[in-house]
Amino acid sequence: MTQMNAHFASAAAAIRRFDAIMPLDEGAIAALHEAARRPRRVSAHHELLTEGTAISEPHILLSGWGARVRILPDGRRQILSLLLPGDMIGHCYQPQPLAITSVVALTAIDLCPAPSTDEVESLRHVYAISHALDEAFLLAQITRLGRMSAYERLADLFLELLERLSLSGNAQHNAFDHPLTQELVADVTGLTPVHVNRVVKRLRHRDEADWHTGYLTLSDPDALRRRIGRTPFQISQAMRRRG
């Protein structure tokens, strides 16, 4: 792959996601392409942000998976949210922001500085909706942990991942590549790896999800949504009009 093709490939997922949530104008697309020319590669398991430290500037995740995490004093880990291609890292509205969680690369990732809204005004609205989506995902995570059964937690998480990866073009035919392990899913859903294993077997036995190493397929996402009562987020009238 030539350097130019590699640049467009790295920018494509982020541009598709942003354009899916809010139409991008030519200036925004050009700014995102320019930012993606300066990617930063981070190795798997490396910490991008440490809780309580200063955030120098916001970034956009171009490829790979990350996570916002909290580590308890005894070493237990809670993954608060997963970060996927096209997501923003360290996007804050307050001056001199501090990281309220640590952010860890689950895989090798590429990221780039988020273009300034001072130079491209239209990105202000895109970033605002992206920020609102992040909040919606966090509220969904609270609901998962607080009120859902183990079966509902995994089904809801898998449906969310499918929906989010579809926005960036990283899911096709109700399936997507992933770095998930049963331990990682346990840290997201507040279950034990043994319990996750039992639920995965149930989903497979009911022909609802087929989880292989590195690949997950949902046989009928609409039926699964109805079964657990999952409904799409409604966070913006602009997104509703597009849909």
Q: Any bridge partners for residue 104, and if so which?
A: 47, 67
What confidence score (pLDDT) does residue 2 get? 47
Q: How confident is the model at residue 224 (pLDDT cuts 50, 70, 90)?
A: very high
* CA 207/CA 180 separation, integer angstroms: 19
**The total number of structural domains that make up the chain:** 1
Give the HSE-up count for residue 180: Cα atoms under 13 Å, Cβ half-sphere. 27
pLDDT band at 100 (very low <50, low <70, confident <90, very high): very high
The parent domain of residue 213 ranges over: 3-242
Confidence (pTM): 0.93
**Using alpha carbons only, what angle is made at residue 179 by residues 72 and 151, rounded to the nearest 5 degrees?**
70
| pLDDT above 50 (res 208) | yes
Tens of pLDDT along 151-198?
A: 999 999 999 999 999 999 999 999 999 999 999 999 999 999 999 999
% of the chain beyond a pLDDT of 90: 85
Residue 119: per-residue pLDDT: 84
Alpha-helical runs (H) found in the chain = 3-21, 26-36, 122-147, 150-167, 182-189, 193-205, 221-228, 237-242
Q: What is the pLDDT of residue 235?
A: 78
- The enclosing domain of 38 has a CATH number of 2.60.120.10
Average pLDDT of the chain, as a whole number: 92
